A = this chain, B = another copy of it.
Amino acid sequence: MCRWLAYSGTPVLLDTLLYRPAHSLIDQSLHSRMGLETTNGDGFGVGWFGQEADTPAVFRDTGPAWNNRNLREIADHVRSPLFFAHVRASTGSAVQQTNCHPFRYGRWMWMHNGAITDFHRVRRDLSVAVDPALFACVEGSTDSEIMFFLALTLGLEKDPPGAVARMAGLVERVGHEHGVRFPLQMTVAVTGGERVWAFRYSSQGRSRSLFHSANVDSLRALHPDLDYLREVSDDTRLVVSEPLGGLPGTWRELPEGSYGVTEPGAYVLRPFEPQYA
């Protein structure tokens, strides 16, 4: 339904990744190649950690990313070591800021591509499962936001992979109770300001595309002539819904039912499966 990008590593101008690549996220907002829809023009968002504030800044708007001048300004002037960006294709829910990604709670950011199948049938049961103390923070009407608050309810801040697994398990259980065969389809990125987790999973085992960048060392070996690769720290990583184009050897698909996490000096892939209460 959407396209997204998560960056972690040597601080860069957002422009470098949002606009410059041949098949940048902005280009994907108009001409996605691997998404369900070619056009992702129903709002967008970017969230970034800066030098000082405790929490990330989140800039979201309801028009298309491709013609938004304020996004262009921010991309040209903001440098960040960790940021998320998302372009949205709505499948009917309202086009409003509170339905745009990334969602934020304290230091935590969340973005999603995919869907809870037949969300209108399970929305109430899932909403009720949100911690009552968090319920009042729900501002929009998307499945993605409910997934975030469910993950927060189930321990996201202490154990992200565990919380996401429990959220997925809950969504599947409730979906099955309502007769939905394949309740969940998701690629999700989440961060608390240090590490970035990216999950690829679907109940049917046919998940939307998700790629991470190769490690910088191997790229340097492949492309010894490229100076700028020397300036990029070893643990710099990008996770994207679809490749931005660029150097051969850059992109690797995350396996079906897996998640990746940026660790100091490494990118670790692990299997992912829902966890049932």
Contacts and interface: CB of A to CB of B under 8 A. Distances in A.
B141 A139 contact: yes
Interface stretch (A1-9, A130-138, A158-166): A130-138
B77 A64 contact: no
Contacts of A42: 64, 67
A175 to B, nearest CB: 14
Nearest to A63: B63
B98 A74 contact: no
Interface in A126-166: 127-128, 132, 135-136, 138-141
B124 A132 contact: yes
A139 B52 CA distance: 35
A94 B38 contact: no
Nearest to A62: B63
Nearest to A127: B127
A133 to B, nearest CB: 9
B98 A141 contact: yes
Interface residues of A, number: 48
By CB atoms of chain B within 10 A, which of A41, A128, A138 has the most?
A41
Contact of A58 (B50, B73, B90): B73
Contacts of A141: 98, 138-140
Interface in A51-101: 52-53, 55, 57-64, 66-67, 69-70, 73-74, 76-77, 79, 90, 93-98
Contacts of A63: 62-64, 95
Contact of A136 (B38, B67, B124, B135): B124
Interface string A32-51: 00000011011000000010
Contacts of A139: 93-94, 141
A28 to B, nearest CB: 12
A100 B66 CA distance: 17
A97 B97 contact: no
A30 interface: yes
A73 B57 contact: yes
A61 B67 contact: no
A135 B141 CA distance: 11
Instruction: Identify the 9 closest CB pairs spanning chains A and B, nearest first.
Output: A120-B136, A57-B77, A96-B96, A124-B135, A57-B73, A41-B41, A67-B95, A139-B141, A94-B98
Given A42-B67, A53-B77, 9 more contacts: A38-B38, A57-B74, A57-B76, A58-B73, A60-B70, A67-B90, A94-B98, A123-B136, A128-B128
11 contacts: A30-B39, A31-B38, A57-B77, A59-B73, A63-B63, A67-B95, A94-B98, A98-B141, A124-B132, A138-B141, A139-B141
